[in-house]
Structure 1
Amino acid sequence: MRGEASRIADRVSRDSLAPKLRETGKEAWRIGNELFTITNVLDHNARLERALTDPSRPVEDKVAVVETLIGGTAHPMTMEIMADLVGRKWSRVSDIANAVEDFGVDAMMYYSDATGTTLKVSIELAQLHSALLNLPVVRSKLYDASVSADARIKLLYSLIGKADFDQVTKRLAEHATCNLRNRRYLQTVQWLINKYSRHMGESMVTVTTAVPLTEAQVKRLVAVYTAKVGRPVHVNSVVDPNVIGGMRIQVGDEITDNTVVAQLQHLRRSIQAGA
């Protein structure tokens, strides 16, 4: 959890630079990739993080460190973002890497906007999330820090290689396993889904059932949750025969589990508690 200073720094920086980043259009692809690379460098160099967040160090010196780090080959917008971030106050030194990553995801979203693929990427991320729900061994390997990043990426593409995913979907999925950042893989994918949903002004409602939802059920769920959250929603239908019956509905971090499996587990706990 970020401290107050970091939350303010992140929000103010992104609010002030968002219009400029959005205006880069298709160049945002390059910027996002550069920011993801910088995130990875910072995550593996605490000394560098301290140098860039030291409040006693002149901002000019920190900007010079950034220029040395990324050189003259980086996109001017990448440099502007980094110069802004090093000039702000952070609660913890590691929080600057979080801010850089946030900007990287923002850049990918703006690139999606520029190429007309924002909804497509959002749906594909949800499909990836759904596929991994039933593959616990695979997803555990995707965030296994004892395995090299190259091996994790290879495993990822063995899973999604045949899928006609957008390049942004693939890049975000790759970032999630390449830059682990002390997170579980599925947790990172859900975070990305939530960011895309907020960006589109929608909420992604993930509904898990034993059999596919009918068109009428999807329309009913869209109507109910649109009214509940006060904005349009997209229903991501997940089929998992193991739930037996009923529905498991997730909106962000909120989960409503009315599946038969959940009810049986609740009954079992009640019996054990009363024994």
Structure 2
Amino acid sequence: MQGPSRAAAAASREAFTGVLAAGADRSRLAEELFAVVGVIDGSATLRRAVADPSREGADKAQLAERLFAGKVSAEALVVLKGAFGHRWSSERDLTDTLESYAVEAVIAQAEADGRADRVEDELFRFERIVAADAALRSALADTQAPAEKRADLVSSLLLGKVAPETLVLARQAVVAPRGLRFDRVLEKYLETASSRREQQTAVVTSAVPLTDDDRARLAAGLAAIYGGTVHVNTVVDPRVMGGVKVEIGDELIDGTVIRKLDAARRAMGA
């Protein structure tokens, strides 16, 4: 985001955090914000109107009132007026910010019910499952198929097997990818979750599944190195043979056997 949008996002966030702190129904808030993003995305005229930098903020806040009062909850309207009432560098920055608030509201509900870690793990694993299955990936990305049909496919795979919040976000990712690939949508959702929870995420690849104790020790060790809290997502890949590979932020720590063998081969060939 450019300067004006960064300032607008910071200012509008006060309205969002305020309604959460006041006890808003988080699930309903998320549903309404996702729906509003869909409405804005579907109307070029509305996109221009809400993001027009030449219009006064108060005028755009009144526009939110006229368009959505009585159609969304009072809490959602507060968030919308708070977002519309600022200057954005682009239309996409405004809708991206509203979408991130919707995702955060879902994560906030998971936090309240003590399953935020579970939701992050399940979203990560589902993204990996889709990435490894070409037929499933094509089915979820098929924009010629009705969005509800794609959402129903997600439900058939996940309903009763994952947390409610995981299902909400997975369905949303296929119903409204907003021009992004499914994997990138889920990555954005996970980034929002990490940001809300003020933690970093590490992807750890190993030849065999890690135990809960292994994950806890890795998380503690990485937190000692990088500071703060580190959430560990795991990937099993027999090709690494042994050891682990850790990706955190832009850094890669590769302690796998296969890397050491590759290094030995390069040395012998030098």
**1:186 corresponds to 2:186:** no
**1:238 corresponds to 2:235:** yes
SS in 1 for 2:91: coil
Q: 1:95 to 1:234 in 2, by over 3 A?
A: closer
- The answer for the alignment partner of 1:10 in structure 2 is 9
1:170 positional shift: 0.9
Write out aligned runs for 1:190-205 (5 A): 190-205=187-202
Write out aligned runs for 1:1-275 (5 A): 2-14=1-13, 16-25=14-23, 27-163=25-161, 165-214=162-211, 217-252=214-249, 254-257=251-254
Would you say the 8 A contact 2:151–2:174 is kept in 1?
Answer: yes
1:74 positional shift: 1.1
1:201 positional shift: 3.2
Provide the C-alpha distance between the structure 2 equivalents of 1:62 and 1:216, rounded to a whole number of angstroms: 52
Q: What is the count of residue pairs matched by the alignment?
A: 268
Provide the C-alpha distance between the structure 1 equivalents of 2:37 and 2:95, rounded to a whole number of angstroms: 5
1:25 positional shift: 3.2
SS in 1 for 2:228: coil
Would you say the 8 A contact 1:26–1:114 is kept in 2?
Answer: no
Runs (5+) with no aligned partner, structure 1? none
Would you say the 8 A contact 1:139–1:186 is kept in 2?
Answer: no
Q: Which amino acid aligns with 2:150?
A: R
Provide the C-alpha distance between the structure 2 equivalents of 1:131 and 1:38, rounded to a whole number of angstroms: 30
Would you say the 8 A contact 2:159–2:167 is kept in 1?
Answer: no
Q: 1:13 to 1:60 in 2, by over 3 A?
A: closer
TM-score norm. by structure 1 comes to 0.83
Would you say the 8 A contact 2:223–2:230 is kept in 1?
Answer: yes
1:57 positional shift: 2.8
Give CA deviations for 1:180-218 in whole Å, capped at 9, x if unaligned: 112221222222223223323333322122211256643
Superposed CA RMSD in Å reads: 2.9
Provide the C-alpha distance between the structure 2 equivalents of 1:46 and 1:176, rounded to a whole number of angstroms: 22
Provide the C-alpha distance between the structure 1 equivalents of 2:262 and 2:138, rounded to a whole number of angstroms: 24
SS in 2 for 1:180: coil
Would you say the 8 A contact 1:26–1:115 is kept in 2?
Answer: no
Give CA deviations for 1:24-63 in whole Å, capped at 9, x if unaligned: 4361211111000111111222211101122333445433
